[in-house]
Every structure is written in C-alpha cells, then in structure tokens.
A = this chain, B = another copy of it.
Amino acid sequence: MAHEHLTDSCLFCKIIRQVHNKVKGIICKGGTNAPMDFLLCRGEIPSNKIAETDKRGTNVYPLLPVGQLVIPKYHAEFFHQVPEDYLADLLPLAKKVAVAQGFEQYNLLQNNGPMAHQVVKHVHFHIINKPNKDEGLGIVWPQQQVTQDQLKGTLSKIKEKL
C-alpha cells in the first residue's frame, strides 16, 4: 500500500513506514483524576507488526504484553479527522487481535488531546487486557448531576449539527 497519508515526522507514521521499529519510553501523568502516573512503555520497545489490512490501511502493534495498539495508516491527530473508510476498518481488526489474544475481560480506549491522556499525536486505539483488579486500566469518572432540561438541550444541539 502506498503511504501517501503518512508524514515524515510522526513516530507512528515512521513505524508504519518501517523506517523506525522502536517506541521510546513514554511516561505520562494521568491528570488530576488519576492519582498515579501511568506508563505506556519504559525504555525502548520493539514495534513489531502483528497484523494489517491493506485495503483501507490499519496496523496493529504490540506495545505491552497486556495490550496492543491499532493504528490507522493515515496521519491524523484526532479521531474525528480520520476518513470514514479508515475508521470502518479499525474495529474488525481489533476484534481479530482480541480473539487471538484470548482476552476475557478488556478495554478499548482511544484518547484525543493531552488532557484526555493522548501522548502520541497519531490516532491509535489501545486494546488493554484486564486480567485482575490490579492490572490493566482503572478508570475514574467523577459524578455529575444533570437535569432533564440540560439533556434536552444537549440533544437538540447535536441534532441541529448532525
């Protein structure tokens, strides 16, 4: 597949184009809702390709034994910037990898923006195993009160723009 939608500067584009085969350590703060730092990887981790789809272009890479990355072969910082045909290809491939891994409980997570825990500025989905309560992804979702009027407002705002 041609790489016309990839850049020369992005780490994930380089990995997809196979001009770089390692992910360097990325340690990030989890924000105020997450009291601990969380770790994507430490040191240099080889970015071996697990699977790919040629037609629309999606790659899967291992990052940790507990998780994989599904990366579209299209350079975009945010999910909403990825064309629909690339998006349609992502989840069926993620399913294959989840099945091959034999995960029983797990999370799919895709982050947009530094506040929302995105580190590498190229859209990617994490497939994260949850083998027990202590490993894998923990989430913190502060409580929020909401009125029916607020909900109606949100709904009509979205419908207007759809």
Contacts and interface: CB of A to CB of B under 8 A. Distances in A.
Interface of A: 30-42, 45-46, 48, 50-51, 62, 64-66, 68, 79-80, 82, 84, 87-92, 94-118, 125, 128, 130, 132-146, 148, 150-151, 153-155, 157-162
Given A88-B88, A95-B87, A144 B66 contact: yes
A70 to B, nearest CB: 11
A79 B130 CA distance: 14
A161 B116 contact: no
Contacts of A84: 92, 95
A134 B117 CA distance: 13
A117 B92 CA distance: 22
Given A45-B151, A51-B162, A139 B39 contact: no
Contacts of A144: 39, 64-66, 135
A9 to B, nearest CB: 22
9 contacts: A38-B140, A39-B142, A41-B146, A50-B158, A82-B95, A105-B115, A106-B116, A107-B109, A112-B130
B97 A34 contact: no
Contact of A91 (B91, B132, B159): B91
Nearest to A97: B158
Contact of A140 (B96, B139, B151): B139
Nearest to A136: B116
Given A133-B33, A138-B33, A105 B114 contact: yes
